């Protein structure tokens, strides 16, 4: 379906595209992290590409299965051409960072924060990289394959959260009466 997207990426970026495959309509490009933003901008802005909708960002932990432990996976979509594309970036355990794509697709903000929270992969250039699902004092990253199942987290005192007054709107039938 979108094999031409993979072909154009390889023609434009050459060796930066480490591998591609097209299996059952799932077009995937494994790319070097150093040029991730440049490739993302090209995919978003090129008239033949127009990948203007970020779908998801996640990670895979290949603990003890591959030499490079982590893989960051971006899913993007072109609403113009009705095509999906998956971008994969290998992330080593020693560096454990990847360029952020929030400047290209602001919709990736929370997805990258979730990957940071669950896997501990830092996104360089992210405007607000902090936990989104767990509390700040949580130790570790629970979706890593080596996270201990029986690990206890530090107990936290109950926090005082100011109560926000809520106003319940009357039903629409009351609003429409003369």
pLDDT tens-place values along the chain, 178 residues long: 578 899 999 999 999 999 999 887 789 999 999 999 999 999 999 999 999 999 999 999 999 999 999 999 999 999 999 999 999 999 999 999 999 999 999 999 999 999 999 999 999 999 999 999 988 888 889 999 988 878 777 777 777 777 777 776 666 665 565 5
pLDDT of residue 163: 76
With contact defined as beta carbons under 8 Å apart, do 31 and 89 qualify? Answer: yes
Instruction: Name the CATH superfamily housing domain 3-148.
Output: NADH:ubiquinone oxidoreductase Nqo5 subunit (3.30.460.80)
- Please tell me the predicted confidence (pLDDT) of residue 138: 85
- Structure confidence at residue 139 (pLDDT): 87
User: CB–CB of 29/8 below 8 Å?
Assistant: no
Contacts of 46 (CB under 8 A, 6+ apart): none
Quote helix, strand, coil % in the chain, to nearest 5.
25, 25, 50
Instruction: State residue 46's pLDDT score.
Output: 94
**List of long-range contacts for 20-26, beta carbons under 8 Å, 24+ apart:** 25/1, 25/84, 26/84, 26/86
Distance CA 92, CA 67 (A): 8
pLDDT at 18: 95
- The pLDDT of residue 68 is 95
What does pTM read for this prediction?
Answer: 0.83
């Amino acid at each position: 379906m979108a094999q031409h997207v993979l072909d154009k990426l390889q023609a434009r970026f050459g060796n930066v595209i480490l591998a591609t495959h097209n299996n059952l309509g799932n077009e995937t490009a494994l790319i070097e992290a150093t040029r991730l933003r440049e490739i993302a901008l090209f995919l978003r802005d090129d008239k033949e590409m127009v990948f203007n909708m970020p779908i998801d960002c996640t990670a895979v932990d290949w603990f003890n299965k591959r030499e490079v432990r982590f893989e960051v996976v971006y899913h993007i979509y072109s609403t113009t051409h009705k095509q999906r594309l998956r971008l994969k970036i290998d992330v080593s355990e020693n560096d454990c960072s990847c360029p952020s794509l929030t400047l290209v697709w602001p919709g990736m903000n929370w997805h990258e924060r979730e990957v940071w929270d669950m896997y501990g992969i830092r996104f360089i250039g992210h405007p607000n990289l902090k936990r989104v699902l767990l509390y700040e004092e949580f130790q570790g990253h629970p979706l890593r394959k080596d996270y201990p199942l029986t690990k206890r987290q530090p107990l936290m005192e109950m926090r005082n959260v100011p109560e926000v007054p809520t106003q319940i709107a009357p039903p629409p039938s009351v609003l429409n009466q003369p």
